[in-house]
Amino acid sequence: MTTLIIVESPSKGKIIEEYLGSGYRVAASVGHIRDLPEAGMGVHAPDFKPEYVYTDKGKEVVARLKRLQAECTDGVILATDLDREGEAIAWHLKQVLGLKDERRITYNEVTPEALKKALANPRAIDLKAVAAQEARRVADRLIGYMVSPVIAEAMGDKTASTGRVQSVAVRLVDDREKEIAGHSSLKHYSAELTFGNWKASWDTKPLLEGQKHWTNKEFAELVAAVRSVKVMSCDDSETTSSPPAPFDTTTLQQAGSNTLGFDPQQTMAIAQKLYEQGAITYMRTDTTVLSDNALEEIFAYGKENGLPIVAKARTWKQADDAQAAHEAVRPSHIAVTTAGENENERKLYNLIWMRTVGCQLQDARFAVRVARLEATSAVDGKTVEFEGRGKKLIYKGWKELTPFDSSEDPEDEASLEGQDSDNPVPKLTTGDFLDADTGSVVETKTKAQPRYTEASLIKDMKRLGIGRPATYGAVMKTIVDDRNYVERFGKKKQLKMAFRGIRLMNVLRDNFQFLNYDFTKILEEQLEGIATGKANYKTLLGAVHKRLQTELTAFQVKVPVEFPCPKCARGLILNPAKNKKSSPWWGCSGYNPDESGCDYMAEDADGKPGKPSGPVLTEFACTGCGKPLIHRVKEGEGGWSFFGCSGHKEGCLLSFPDKSGEPDLTSPRKPKAKTEADS
C-alpha cells in the first residue's frame, strides 16, 4: 500500500520522502498547474467564473501525477503550502485528478515531527480560502486587462501596463519624488559648549515661542560665546531597549536588503530554499507568533549557553488581519546554529537565527546622566539653558547577539534610538559653576524625506496595507527591472522615477480609484472577508468591474491619445524592435489588416511617429476587382514577397507571385479553403 503526497516544490518533496520512508511517494506540482489564459481576459461579468487553462508545464505535470496516482493504491494527500495560493493549488489538483474525498494537510515546517502531526490530522480543502485567492486573481486580471490597453493607447507605448499593486508602488515613489522636489530647506541654528571630553547643547525650546526651529544665527553666535555656566541639576537614571520581534515576511525582506544587500525577490528565493531544506519555518507569514515548542527550544538553548533569557516569554501584538494559523519565520530547530547549502543561504539563516533567539533575551540597559546648565549671564536679555546628556550601555541583554534591529536601515536616524552612544558627562553638583573650554554654532538644514530604497518602500507598502508581503519581491522586479517605471541609483540603491514611470503616473493619477492608497487595503480586507465567509465573491468583483467600466468611459473622454492615427483617430503605439537587426515602429492600436482593421504604420523618429511606412500601393491593378496591388515583403529566414489586393477588406483576397519585382498577373492565388479536417 502506497500513498501519493503532492507538494509544490520538487526539492521539498525529496526531503519529505526521505523523512517518511516506505509507504509514501512524494511528487511536486511545481507551483500552479492551471491559471487564467495569457491571451484574453478569461473571466466575464456577471458571474466572474474563471476560464482556467493549463500552465506551460501544467499539462505535463498532471499527466505524470495521474500515472503516479494509478500506481499508489492508498490514495492521494494534498500537501501544498499553507497559504491561500497553496489552498488554491490543492483545489486545482483535486479537480484535475478527480478526487472526491480529498485529504489536505498543512505544516509550518519540514520536519519529521510536523509531518507526522499533519498526516494524523487531514482535512478537506478550505473552499473559502480558495474563493479569496480566486477573487484576488480575478480582480488583478480585471484591472490589468481592462485598463492596460487603454493606458498603452493613451501613452503610445505598447508594453505599458497597470496593476493593482505595482501601479500603487510606483505612485509611492512618485509621491516621494514630488515631496522631495517641493521641499524648501530651512537653515536653523543651535550651539554647543565643550567641557574637556564632554559636551552640552543649547536647549532652544524655552525660547522658540511656538516655532519649530531657531533661525537667528547672530543670537546663536552669542550663545556659542558663553563660557560661564551654573549647574542647575544633574540626574542619573536608566533606560532600556527591547529586542525586535521575530521576522514576518516584510521584516525579513527589509533585513535581507538593509543588512545583506539582497533585493526582496532574492531574499524570498533564498528563504524558500532554506524552507525546502527543512532549515526554517514557512517564509510567507504575517505574524510574529512563536509556537510553544519553539519557545521551549529557545529557552533551553539560552540556558545551556549562558544567554540572558527572559523570565517570561515575550509576545507581540498582532495585526487584526494576521492569519493566526501561521508562525513567525524562525529556525526549525534552535540548536542548529548554521544551515544552508551556500554562503548566501547561511547568511540569511544566521540573520533569522539571531532574530529568533534574540527576541527572547532580556532588555539592554543604559545608564543615562542628564545635566542642566544655565549661562551665568543673560544673552541679549534672555536666559539661556544647556543640556549635557550622557548614555552608556551597562547591560547588553539581547545586544549580545546583534547590536541593532537588522530590519531597520542603520543609516536612518530614526533607527538609532536605543543604540550605544556615549557623552561622558561627569557627576556634577547642583550650584557649582563651570567654565567651557570652547563653544561653536551648530548649523542644520531641514531635510526632505529620503528617497525610498526597496526595503523602505516595502515597509511603507506594509504600513499602508498595499498588496501581500509575499509578492513584494515580484512587485519590485516588475516596476524596476521589467517595466522600467522606477530606477535604482547610488550606493544605497535608492529608487527614483524613470521617465516612463512619470508618464504612466501622469495618465493614471486622478483617473482610476485603484491607484488610491486605501483601495488596495480595503480590497485586501474584503478578500479576508471572503476567506472568513463575511463577504461575497460576485458582489466584490461586480463592484470592481462596474467601477472600472465607469472610470474607463470617463477616461477616454477626458484624456486624448497622445499620437492619434491619421486614418482612424485611434492611438498610435510604439512597437519595440524584435531583434538587433530590426527597428521599432509605430502602428495603430487597431492594427489588424488581416481582419479588416486599420493598417497604418509609421517609422520611429526619436520616440515619436515619423513618416508613414508599411504597405504601399503599386501601379499594378488586381485582375479580380481592379484595385491597386500592395507589394508585401518579409525579409530574412522564412520571409516572403508577393503582391496582394488592397481590396482585401472588401472581400477580394487575390494575391500574385513576385516575378522579378512585378506581380505575375497570369497566376492569381486565392486563400486555401478550410476543410472540416482543418477545423
Q: CA 16 to CA 109: how far, in whole Å?
A: 11
Strand 438-445 versus strand 187-195 pairing type: antiparallel
CB 543 within 8 Å of CB 535: no
CB 663 within 8 Å of CB 629: yes
What contacts 308, CB < 8 A, 6 or more positions away?
302, 361, 362, 396, 397, 398, 400
Q: CA 371 to CA 389: how far, in whole Å?
A: 6
Compute the half-sphere exposure of residue 593: CA atoms within 13 Å on the CB side of its CA: 15
Q: CA 279 to CA 347: how far, in whole Å?
A: 13
What contacts 211, CB < 8 A, 6 or more positions away?
none
Residue corresponding to grid cell 495560493: 85
CB 190 within 8 Å of CB 220: yes
Strand 486-489 versus strand 494-497 pairing type: antiparallel
Residue corresponding to grid cell 507569514: 285
Q: CA 383 to CA 423: how far, in whole Å?
A: 25
Q: Is the dihedral of CA 548, 551, 554, 559 positive or negative?
A: negative
Q: Does the active-site annotation cover 54?
A: no
CB 316 within 8 Å of CB 308: no
Report the candidate in 244, 274, 234, 293 with the shortest Cα–Cα distance to residue 11: 274
Q: Identify the active-site residue in 24, 52, 107, 282.
A: 282
Q: CA 452 to CA 460: how far, in whole Å?
A: 9
The SS3 of residue 465 is coil
β-partners of residue 24 are 3
C-alpha angle 91/57/129, rounded to 5°? 20
Is the preceding omega at residue 46 within 30 degrees of 0, hence cis? Answer: yes
Report the candidate in 38, 454, 485, 529 with the shortest Cα–Cα distance to residue 256: 454
Say if residue 415 is exposed, middle or buried (CB neighbours under 10 Å; 0-12, 13-18, 19+). Answer: middle
Q: CA 677 to CA 679: how far, in whole Å?
A: 5
The C-alpha cell of 123 is what? 482535512
> DSSP readout, 319-371?
PTT--TT---B-BS-TT-----SSHHHHHHHHHHHHHHHHTTBPPEEEEEEEE
Residues taking part in catalysis: 282
